[in-house]
Amino acid sequence: MSASPTSGLGMTSQRSRDRMVRQLKDMGIHDARVLEVMRTTPRHLFVEEGLAHRAYDNTPLPIGYEQTISQPYIVARMTEACLQRGQPQKVLEIGTGSGYQAAVLAQLVPRVVSLERIRPLQRQAREVLNVLKLDNVSLRHVDGFGGWPEDAPYDVILLTAAPVEVPAALLDQLTLGGQLLAPVGAAGRQNLIRLVKTDQGFEKQDLGAVSFVPLLPGAIA
């Protein structure tokens, strides 16, 4: 983790951020709000210093503990999907990881709650979010399979790790009209699924193939 927002400035220049945003546009991200937040959020603070020069490449990067910070395109696409059904007031993310997705969301929605099972990752994410003064994000160290009923209901529940099936407890924590976005399936063959809660039940939409780390049970200190 870099301590200062300006460290490694040469390698993390505006030029490399602008190039990343051009790639996101070429890949089909259209929402101007999302593109602007992707352009201004310092992704290099969310990766190890030694990887800062690759922070604006459109690729996932290791963050330790066998986890990765998602590819910028995936973060942009998930964020765009979050905003597609009207402005959410409260979003639950499962899988804080580096905190980058939470940071992007926190600039577009009033309140973000994010759950992480690996304590040291949660601590690192907290530090960076503090540096960025994103104080509308609540981080919780917990196994996310059960969601976080204390702050429910949520307009959006976003999973950034893949379960084989959507955990039923999460569906109870959605508002009526709210949506859950999750990569679902075994390693290497997941699809991004959208479930919208209606008064009849759930409407399901398949948003295409994706690749995420698995959602694993149990919190680790």
Residues noted as catalytic: 70
To 10 degrees, the CA torsion angle through 34, 38, 42, 48? 120
CB of 212 to ligand SAH, least distance (A): 7
How far apart CA 124 and CA 137 sit, in angstroms, is 14
Beta carbons within 8 Å of 16's beta carbon, 6+ residues apart? 56
CB of 215 to ligand SAH, least distance (A): 4
Decide if 97 contacts 117 (C-beta within 8 A): no
Pairing of strands 67-69, 190-198: unpaired
CB closer to ligand SAH out of 15 and 54: 54
CB closer to ligand SAH out of 51 and 216: 216
Residue 120: which of 2, 219, 9 has the closest Cα?
219
Q: Which residue has the CB atom at the shortest distance from ligand SAH? A: 97
Binding region for ligand SAH (CB under 6 A): 67-70, 94-95, 97-98, 100-101, 115-118, 121, 143-145, 160-161, 213, 215-217
CB of 13 to ligand SAH, least distance (A): 22
CB closer to ligand SAH out of 29 and 161: 161
CB closer to ligand SAH out of 65 and 202: 65
CB of 53 to ligand SAH, least distance (A): 18
Count of beta carbons in the 10 Å neighbourhood of residue 155: 20
